[in-house]
Structure 1
Amino acid sequence: MILRHLTIDSSEPYELARFWSAVTGWPLGDDDEPGDDEVLIEAPAPVPGLLFIRVPEAKTVKNRLHIDWMPDERTRDEEVDRLTALGAKLFEDHRTPDGLGWVTMQDPEGNEFCVERSTIERA
């Protein structure tokens, strides 16, 4: 079995896909455009793409599944600053004085995701 996509419910799939495309650097599908009910951002193989699907209901509770990201070109704190500038919000800060920990953030539609220490900080 192959994991093909992670599917994320959305009220505005194109706009949310554009946010995640800016976060990851992964491109939107060639045929995707504003107003589409399904929008894919294509990850480099073998990573699954992120598929955004329009749903009528708004997000109301904590995600049952979320993505943990580990920056590879910036530190965790630099990445948190970059994501905030792109429109993400700080949700829970789990950083510790010794430099360990992670940050839980929310995308523009309130979906939680975590930013861990970077590959640089783990070296």
Structure 2
Amino acid sequence: MTDFTALAERYLAAWNATGTERRALIEELFTEDASYTDPLGAVTGWDDIEKFFAGAAEQFAGLRFTLHGPVDGHHDIARFTWHLGPEGGEPLVIGFDVLVAENDRIARVHGFLDKVPG
């Protein structure tokens, strides 16, 4: 059975990582044909997921993704809330993601944005 809390924590670590570390985490976490979809885009595969994560890191330089609250999961699906903001500060962005796992790796992400900057 998948440890969804650990999977969500590693997923957010990939968002916070840079360069070769980000790529290594993406290849470790995601299936090769994984898809990521949120209101800002839809991508498939390691290369496009990496580019999407890198774009967010550039746009929100100096901010970090953190898990907010418990991870809820059953079967191969998990959901959780995350914050993006300065360490220990008020989050600039709040989101809610749903992960679909295959063999303890992420096959699909469905992301929602609950709070975005004006």
The answer, yes or no, to whether TM exceeds 0.5 is: no
TM-score by length of 2: 0.29
Structure with a larger share of its residues in strand: 2
TM-score by length of 1: 0.28
Structure with a larger share of its residues in helix: 2
* Greater C-alpha Rg: 1
